[in-house]
Each structure stands twice: as structure tokens, then as C-alpha cells.
């Protein structure tokens, strides 16, 4: 088996303007990969276009020993088709390659693993040793301890399982390497991106999330969730049933096939609590459930439960908040 230096590479997710909170959490996970009680050196790979602001932010992140920064038009949209080739090229000097288990990471890392001819460790929630991690299976109802013998450990990190790494007020990373490794995406091109703009915080980064489910009955009634979220300065989420019914767009879905969140406060309104939904929010610090069915599964994970008609409870709650 090929012997590699023991070091960790974290792929940076960003929008060419700012770091994603998921990257800060992946960097936190990277610091937990240790040998003899000491963390392996962590290198952050930043590829983008006119992303100087991201680089300056990255220089202030604790626990990063080196930054590899590549600024080229080819990486403006972070297409997996060519970014994966860059990661493979850089990864020859690293034993572990990490990325957030976000849409970005789920798009990129399987391609990286395939090009390296290794397996992928997905949705990692704990790191126990250099070759051993823990990941959820069966919609989070069980945890599997997985050991990898691959020379390169490729893994995606479930952000909700790790706190963000500390960020200094001034630069702390002195080593910045800027190679000329540019790979073009020969067989695909970026056409457009449809992104809903909102003044509310992004779901993964929000400390408060208010989610609505099928019990709200209509898109108009979902306004109750929006009003409560706005009063609490939180983000809006939804169950799959609410998304399928057209109450909100699918980018707000919380669950196994949606966003995985772990805010300080999660309020579930009219959500029964199917396994698929619980997998996406049960790690929240405080869970409040509002449902008319006292036997709804959501109450099994809730810290506080309000049993009653949400159309009576919500107006009263909005008045008192």
C-alpha cells in the first residue's frame, strides 16, 4: 500500500465572497484527526475566482497550518467535473481529504473518491482514530463504526455534529501556497443558477429554525411559520410533506433528503415527525413541537411539547413573543 504523509486536506466551500459555516465545521472535524494525541496538520484548499475576501477570512481560521489558494476563472462556479481533478492532484500529499456533507460536498467527493479508486466515508459524525469514523445509517436510527484501509481517506462531514472552528480577529495562518494547477471542465459548462434570495439566515447556519408541516394545511397558512421565524430572527424549514404539497420550495426541506440542521432552537409546527424528518433535526439543542396529535412521533424527541390546535396556539404565541 502506498505510504502517504499523515496530513489532512479540507476542501473549502464558499461563494467567492464568504466562507460557508459548513467549512468551519469541517475544519473542526479535521482537527480531531489525531496521532499520539496531536492533531494532524490541516491544509485548506481554496479554489475560486476573484475570491480574495474568502482567502482573507480563511487566514483568520484557527487550526489551519497552511492554505493552498488557486484563483482562476475555471473555478468560478466550483464545478465538480474539474474541481475533482484539482483535488486529486493536490491530495497526493495527504492521508485524509475532507469536505462538508452539503450539496457541494456530496457533488464533489464521490467523484474524488472514484478518481482515487478508494471508498468514501459519508456523513461522518465522529472521528475515533486515523482510520476509524462513526456515521449514521438507517435514517439516523443507528450508528455504524467504519474502518478504512484505503491509503487516502475521503470523507464528507455532517456539519450538525461539529461546532465551528474558532475564527481570530486577525490573520493567524502565515503559509499560503499558490500553485498553477488549473484544470478545465472539458465536457460541461455552467449555464445558470436559480437561488432564492432571502434576508433570513441560511438553514445550516441559523441558531433558530421554525419548520412547518402538513398540519398547516395550505401555503397561505404557512405565513404563521414565517411570522414566528421573523420575530425570532430565525430561518424557515419544512417537512417533506409540506414541500410536496407546494407550501414552500424544496430548498427549505429539513430531513434525510433535505437539509441536516442542529440549531440552538428548533420549533416544529404541524409536523408529525416521520423518521425521514427526524433524521434532519433531532440533534437540535432544544426542540419544541406543536401538534394536535398527542401520540405524534415528534414528541418523542421534543424537549417541550404543545398539544393542541396550531391555529389557536400560533396566534397566541406570536402575540407573546
Where are the chain's structural domains? 8-177, 203-320
pTM for the predicted model, two decimal places: 0.85
9 Rama class: left (phi>0) / alpha (psi -120 to 50) / beta: beta
Residue 253 CB neighbour total at 10 angstroms: 24
Q: Is the pLDDT of residue 198 over 90?
A: no
Strand partners, 235: 209
Rounded Cα–Cα distance for residues 255 and 264 (Å): 17
Does 203-320 match 8-177 at the fold level?
yes
Block residue for cell numbers 462513526: 134
Q: Give the separation between CA 33 and CA 178, rounded to whole angstroms.
A: 25
- pLDDT-derived band at 3 (thresholds 50, 70, 90) equals low
**Helix or strand run (H / E) with residue 265:** strand 265-269
What class, spelled out in words, does domain 203-320 have in CATH? alpha beta
**Mean pLDDT, rounded, for 207-227:** 95
Distances in Å between the alpha carbon of 199 and those of 196, 205, 232, 235, 236? 10, 13, 13, 9, 11
Could you give the CA distance from residue 29 to residue 164 in angstroms, rounded to a whole number?
9
> What is the chain's mean pLDDT, rounded?
93
Residue keyed to cell 471508498: 119
Report residue 287 as a C-alpha cell: 426542540
Supply the pLDDT for residue 89: 95
pLDDT (0 to 100) of residue 1: 46
Contacts of 111-118 with CB under 8 Å at 24 or more apart are 111/80, 111/81, 111/84, 112/84, 112/87, 112/88, 112/154, 113/154, 115/84, 115/85, 115/88, 116/88, 116/91, 116/152, 116/154, 118/148, 118/150, 118/151, 118/152, 118/153, 118/154
What is the DSSP-derived secondary structure letter of residue 144?
E
The domain covering 8-177 belongs, at the CATH homologous superfamily level, to: HUPs (3.40.50.620)
pLDDT in tens, 109-167: 999 999 999 999 999 999 999 999 999 988 788 999 999 999 999 999 998 899 999 99
**77-86 mean pLDDT:** 94
What does the pLDDT read at residue 109?
98
For the chain, how big is the Rg over CA atoms in Å? Answer: 21
What confidence tens digit (pLDDT) does each residue in 262-296 have? 999 999 999 999 999 999 999 899 999 999 999 99
Contact partners, residue 70, CB within 8 Å, separation at least 6: 45, 46, 47, 48, 86, 178, 179, 181, 182
Specify which residues 288 forms β-bridges with: 267, 304
Are 18 and 56 spatial neighbours (Cβ–Cβ below 8 Å)?
no
Given a cut of 80, whether residue 75 has pLDDT beyond it is: yes
Query: Is residue 150 within 8 Å of residue 41, measured between CB atoms?
Result: no
Distant-in-sequence, close-in-space partners of 109: CB < 8 Å, separation ≥ 6: 11, 97, 99, 120, 154, 155, 156
Amino acid at each position: 500500500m502506498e505510504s502517504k504523509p499523515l496530513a489532512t486536506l479540507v476542501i473549502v466551500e464558499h461563494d467567492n465572497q464568504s466562507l460557508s459555516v459548513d467549512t468551519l465545521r469541517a475544519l473542526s472535524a479535521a482537527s480531531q484527526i489525531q496521532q499520539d494525541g496531536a492533531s494532524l496538520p490541516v491544509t485548506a484548499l481554496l479554489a475560486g475566482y476573484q475570491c480574495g475576501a474568502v482567502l482573507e477570512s480563511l487566514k483568520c481560521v484557527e487550526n489551519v497550518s497552511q492554505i493552498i489558494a488557486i484563483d482562476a476563472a475555471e473555478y468560478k462556479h466550483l464545478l465538480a467535473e474539474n474541481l475533482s481533478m484539482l483535488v486529486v492532484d493536490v491530495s497526493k500529499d495527504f492521508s485524509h481529504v475532507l469536505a462538508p456533507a452539503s450539496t457541494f460536498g456530496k457533488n464533489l467527493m464521490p467523484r474524488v473518491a472514484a478518481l482515487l479508486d478508494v471508498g468514501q466515508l459519508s456523513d461522518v459524525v465522529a472521528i475515533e482514530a486515523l482510520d476509524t469514523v462513526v456515521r449514521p445509517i438507517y435514517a439516523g436510527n443507528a450508528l455504524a463504526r467504519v474502518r478504512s484501509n484505503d491509503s487516502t481517506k475521503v470523507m464528507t462531514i455532517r456539519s450538525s455534529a461539529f461546532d465551528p472552528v474558532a475564527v481570530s480577529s486577525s490573520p493567524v495562518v502565515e503559509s499560503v501556497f499558490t500553485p498553477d494547477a488549473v484544470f478545465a471542465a472539458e465536457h460541461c459548462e455552467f449555464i445558470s443558477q436559480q437561488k432564492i434570495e432571502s434576508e433570513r439566515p441560511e438553514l445550516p447556519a441559523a441558531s433558530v429554525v421554525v419548520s412547518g408541516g402538513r398540519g398547516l394545511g395550505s401555503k397561505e397558512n404557512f405565513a404563521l411559520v414565517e411570522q414566528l421565524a421573523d420575530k425570532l430572527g430565525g430561518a424557515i424549514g419544512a417537512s417533506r410533506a409540506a414541500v410536496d404539497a407546494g407550501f414552500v420550495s424544496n430548498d427549505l426541506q429539513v430531513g434525510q433528503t433535505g437539509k441536516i440542521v442542529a440549531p440552538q432552537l428548533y420549533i416544529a409546527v404541524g409536523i408529525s415527525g416521520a423518521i425521514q424528518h427526524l433524521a434532519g433535526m433531532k440533534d437540535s439543542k432544544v426542540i419544541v413541537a406543536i401538534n394536535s396529535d398527542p401520540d405524534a412521533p415528534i414528541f418523542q424527541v421534543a424537549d417541550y411539547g404543545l398539544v393542541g390546535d396550531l391555529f389557536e396556539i400560533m396566534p397566541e404565541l406570536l402575540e407573546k413573543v
